Amino acid sequence: MSRLFTRKRILEIMDQFVHAKVLVVGDIMLDHFIRGRVARISPEAPVPVVDVHSDHMLLGGSANVMNNIHAMEGMVYGVGVIGADETGERLLAELQKKQIVTAGIIREDLRPTTLKTRIVAHGQQVVRFDRESRLPITEETIDKMISYMATIRDELGAVVISDYSKGVVMEPLLQGIRRIFSGSGVVVCVDPKKTDFASYQGFDIVTPNHHEAGKAVGFEIVDRASLVKAGRELIRNYDFKALLITRGEEGMSLFERDGSIRHTEFSSEAREVFDVTGAGDTAIGVFALSMASGATFREAAFIANRAAGIAVGKVGTATVTRKELKRTL
């Protein structure tokens, strides 16, 4: 346990998870995994034939962030877009089964629900095919989202903006979020995808990985010195209260506006079984939930780092439960 805070304090924050309410707005997806084995090459073309032995769907994109907060027993409000299709119905039903509030999820008739299908054989991805639209959502949809968020503002402790560049997190929506939550005391956290962080100007905290942070400042992060330089530049240029850079299997680095920097590492166990798929969703979901439960930036980063450390020890897109997280403490 860190010298900065005690196990008792971290457990007090986690005990508040069940009372915390977090809004997640962004690109909702469904991840479809088809797994099997290859025993022969097709006689029709020089491609492998996969004999399927399992076929399952997982919540992806911002829906995976919602799922991670749900797994920690926090209350989640979802805002996003689905299509008027079978995939959208399936996704909506799965969210509702988990008691995630879906009143802010809008259907667009001419837009498909984002579906990413991966064919995996012998642990290796053979091919992935996507059904999606990356065109901007309609003005009418944005207006509905903003109106809905305004009605629940006073119930919330934190907001997650989960940007996967699928056309939902556009400038008009970001401006609406600023209008609603500015001065409200609700912490707004951003998982970015855009390389120009000016779009996220003035939000409370942004959580890029080290590749995204490097693109945002225009140079590659290759060591501790370049990491510190990038973090300080992003805080200074975009008026964030804090910046949390995730560093793959290495852990996370928290930069705060007062100039303080804190680097945290994953456990040796997490590094031994290393799969970052979905770990960023776990990190920002748990971070936001911790902030909604009264944590400081440092406390929230510590808890998020522990949760992400568990997530990277699991294969594929995975959630971490509050019970699992408590066990690591």
Q: Which residues are catalytic?
A: 281
**How far apart (Å, rounded) are the C-alpha atoms in residues 273 and 252?**
17
* DSSP secondary structure string for all residues of 175-240: HHHHHHHTTSS-EEEEE---S-GGGGTT-SEE--BHHHHHHHHTS---SHHHHHHHHHHHHHHHT-
Q: Strand 205-206 vs strand 187-191: parallel, antiparallel, or unpaired?
A: parallel
Token pair 């995808």: residue: 193
Contact 77, 23 (CB under 8 A): yes
Of 199, 192, 196, 141, nearest to 170 (Cα)? 199
Q: Which two tokens stand for residue 174?
A: 């970001």
Residues 6+ apart with CB under 8 A from 267: 309, 328
Tokens linked to 70? 């749900």
Segments of 44-147 assigned E as strands = 48-61, 75-83, 101-108, 114-121, 124-131
Question: In the structure encoding, which two tokens stand for residue 71, read together?
Answer: 């797994």
Backbone conformation region of residue 43, classed left if phi is above 0, alpha if psi is from -120 to 50, else beta:
alpha
- Do the beta carbons of residue 284 and residue 74 sit within 8 Å? no
CA 113 – CA 140 distance, rounded (Å):
18
